[in-house]
């Protein structure tokens, strides 16, 4: 048959080097103190602790992509992972569903987090 690897090679413990990919934590934080327009809400999609740096983040409202978003620069965490925030200024109405979609090498497909007005405590 074909030559097989010696047993000692296959049973080596994994060296504590950098993992190939690290899955980020994704969360949406609403904030009301939008100076430009007081009626609007700023939705911040925070994507934290991911590796490698390449990442794609989109905002959707009711399934439609929102083109006007602000993205921070890639922020390096204290270790070798990255952090980024994508902000959407909007005027949410009842029934609107906002979705932050993240594509990253650590995910098998796009990962989404949803937000709507019912998640605000003051309603």
Q: What pLDDT sits at residue 123?
A: 46
Q: What pLDDT sits at residue 48?
A: 97
Tell me the Ramachandran region of residue 84: left when phi exceeds 0, alpha when psi lies from -120 to 50, beta otherwise. beta
Q: Within the chain, which residues score under 50 in pLDDT? A: 123
- Domains defined along the chain, listed by start: 19-119 (2.60.40.10)
Q: What pLDDT sits at residue 4?
A: 66
Model-level pTM? 0.79
CA angle (44 as vertex; 40, 50 as ends), nearest 5: 170
């Amino acid at each position: 048959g074909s030559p097989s690897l010696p047993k000692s090679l296959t049973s080596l413990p994994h060296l504590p080097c950098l993992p190939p990919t690290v899955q980020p934590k994704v969360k949406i934080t609403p904030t009301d103190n939008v100076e430009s327009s007081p009626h609007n809400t700023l939705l911040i999609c925070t994507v934290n602790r991911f590796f490698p740096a390449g990442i794609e983040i989109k905002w959707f409202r009711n399934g439609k992509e929102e083109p006007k978003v602000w993205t921070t620069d890639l922020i390096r965490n204290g270790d070798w992972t990255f952090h980024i925030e994508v902000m959407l200024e909007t005027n949410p109405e009842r029934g609107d569903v906002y979705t932050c979609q993240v594509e990253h090498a650590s995910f098998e497909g796009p990962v989404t987090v949803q937000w709507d007005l019912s998640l605000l405590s003051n309603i």
